[in-house]
């Protein structure tokens, strides 16, 4: 990806996305040569499949709709789920160019937390630390999500990713305590991106941390929490991921 980030002021004459024609309200967006591109269009460029009306995009489009619903429930802003799914694809493309595989990884990442829809508000939105009993409820979300997504024809591999997204490379995750390559590739890649996104996002108890802080933590956990091959891909894609995280930080500051 060759886009560079620029401020709204520097691009003041062009306040419309040249790809979708929508007005760009975020103060930061991507530049492609002389043209500007909004965040939503930037993310679409990373997604698998052809045009928006391509029937093969239907599962991903439905997954996007459900993920938006979950984002609203969790009071996440804007494009959280789409962003995480696209970041995961950036890593996945270093391992495979097979569109069939990428078409599973995208909805798998989008729907990773779908099972949280069944977690009561008092637990899901609790501002303080969870009790042991509340954690037990929360930890059921991968299986609850799997039970739903696995019923969708064509999303079998995506549902395995949903089930495995809280596993850790060293076997200390849940729900099954899988380790190494027992964990689906998409889930191993997603785990790195999930940590990157969580650390570089504002939380009620702290402001977003810098990219370099998240990077240090991810490198530290290579081989234990994370697959070293996924961390290698994360390092190799630093320029793209850093730009996408930078865009997220500025986008959430938009008035
Ligand atoms: Fe989760």
- Which pLDDT belongs to residue 18? 63
Query: Mean pLDDT over residues 19-33, rounded?
Result: 61
Per-residue pLDDT tens over the stretch 56-112: 667 777 888 888 888 888 776 557 788 888 899 999 999 998 888 988 999 999 999
- Which pLDDT belongs to residue 69? 85
Q: In the block, which residue shows the tokens 């793209």?
A: 240
* Average pLDDT score, the chain: 82
- Which pLDDT belongs to residue 52? 57
Q: Three-class SS of residue 84?
A: helix
pLDDT confidence tier of residue 5, bands split at 50, 70 and 90? very low
Share of the chain above pLDDT 70, in %: 72
Question: In angstroms, what is the span from residue 176 Cα to ligand 1's centroid?
Answer: 14
- The rounded distance, in Å, linking the Cα atoms of 35 and 70 is 33
Which of 153-157, 219-223, 244-248 is predicted least confidently? Answer: 244-248
- Which pLDDT belongs to residue 7? 39
pLDDT at 17 over 90: no
CA-to-CA dists, residue 24 to 34, 52, 95, angstroms: 15, 20, 33
CA-to-CA dists, residue 240 to 89, 99, 104, 236, angstroms: 12, 20, 22, 9
8 Å CB contact between 218 and 231: yes
Q: Residue 69 corresponds to which tokens in the numbers above?
A: 């619903």
- Which pLDDT belongs to residue 44? 64
Burial of 201 (0-12, 13-18, 19+ CB in 10 A): buried
Is the link from the previous residue into 175 a cis peptide, with omega within 30 of 0? yes
Read off φ and ψ for residue 222, nearest 5 degrees: -65, 130
pLDDT at 31 over 90: no
Helix ranges (H only) for the chain are 39-46, 58-73, 80-92, 99-110, 121-124, 132-138, 141-149, 156-164, 185-199, 211-220, 228-236, 238-251
Per-residue pLDDT tens over the stretch 173-199: 999 999 999 999 999 999 999 999 999
Centre a 10 Å sphere on the Cβ of residue 222 and count the other Cβ atoms it contains. 18
Question: In angstroms, what is the span from residue 249 Cα to ligand 1's centroid?
Answer: 22
Question: In angstroms, what is the span from residue 165 Cα to ligand 1's centroid?
Answer: 6
Question: Nearest to residue 146, comparing CAs of 156, 138, 154, 136?
Answer: 156
Per-residue pLDDT tens over the stretch 209-234: 999 999 999 999 999 999 999 999 99
Question: In angstroms, what is the span from residue 149 Cα to ligand 1's centroid?
Answer: 14
Q: Three-class SS of residue 206?
A: strand
Which of 14-18, 27-31, 60-64, 169-173 is predicted least confidently? Answer: 27-31
pLDDT confidence tier of residue 54, bands split at 50, 70 and 90? low
pTM, two decimal places = 0.78
Sketch the domain layout of the chain as residue ranges.
1-46, 50-251
Task: Kindly state which CATH superfamily the domain 50-251 is placed in.
Answer: Hypothetical protein af1432 (1.10.3210.10)
Question: In angstroms, what is the span from residue 252 Cα to ligand 1's centroid?
Answer: 22
- Which pLDDT belongs to residue 10? 40
Between 219 and 208, the more confident residue is 219
Question: In angstroms, what is the span from residue 112 Cα to ligand 1's centroid?
Answer: 6
Question: In angstroms, what is the span from residue 31 Cα to ligand 1's centroid?
Answer: 33
């Amino acid at each position: 990806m060759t886009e560079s980030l620029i401020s709204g002021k520097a691009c003041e004459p062009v306040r419309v996305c040249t790809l979708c024609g929508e007005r760009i309200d975020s103060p930061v967006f991507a530049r492609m040569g002389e043209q500007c591109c909004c965040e939503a269009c930037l993310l679409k460029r990373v997604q698998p499949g052809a045009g928006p009306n391509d029937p093969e995009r239907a599962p991903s489009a439905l997954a996007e709709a459900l993920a938006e619903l979950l984002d609203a429930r969790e009071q996440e802003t804007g494009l959280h789920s789409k962003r995480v799914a696209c970041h995961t694809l950036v890593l996945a493309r270093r391992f495979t160019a097979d569109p069939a595989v990428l078409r599973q990884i995208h909805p798998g990442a989008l729907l990773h937390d779908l099972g949280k829809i069944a977690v009561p508000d008092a637990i899901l939105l609790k501002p303080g630390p969870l009790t042991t009993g509340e954690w037990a409820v929360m930890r059921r979300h991968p299986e609850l999500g799997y039970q739903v997504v696995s019923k969708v024809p064509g999303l079998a591999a995506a549902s395995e990713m949903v089930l495995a997204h809280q596993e850790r490379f060293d076997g200390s995750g849940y729900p099954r305590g899988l380790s190494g390559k027992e964990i689906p590739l998409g889930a191993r890649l997603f785990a790195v991106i999930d940590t990157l996104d969580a650390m570089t996002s504002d939380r009620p108890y702290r402001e977003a941390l810098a990219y370099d802080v998240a990077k240090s933590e991810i490198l530290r956990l290579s081989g234990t929490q994370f697959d070293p091959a996924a961390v290698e891909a994360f390092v190799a894609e630093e320029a793209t991921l850093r730009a996408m995280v930078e865009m997220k930080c500025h986008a959430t500051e938009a008035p």
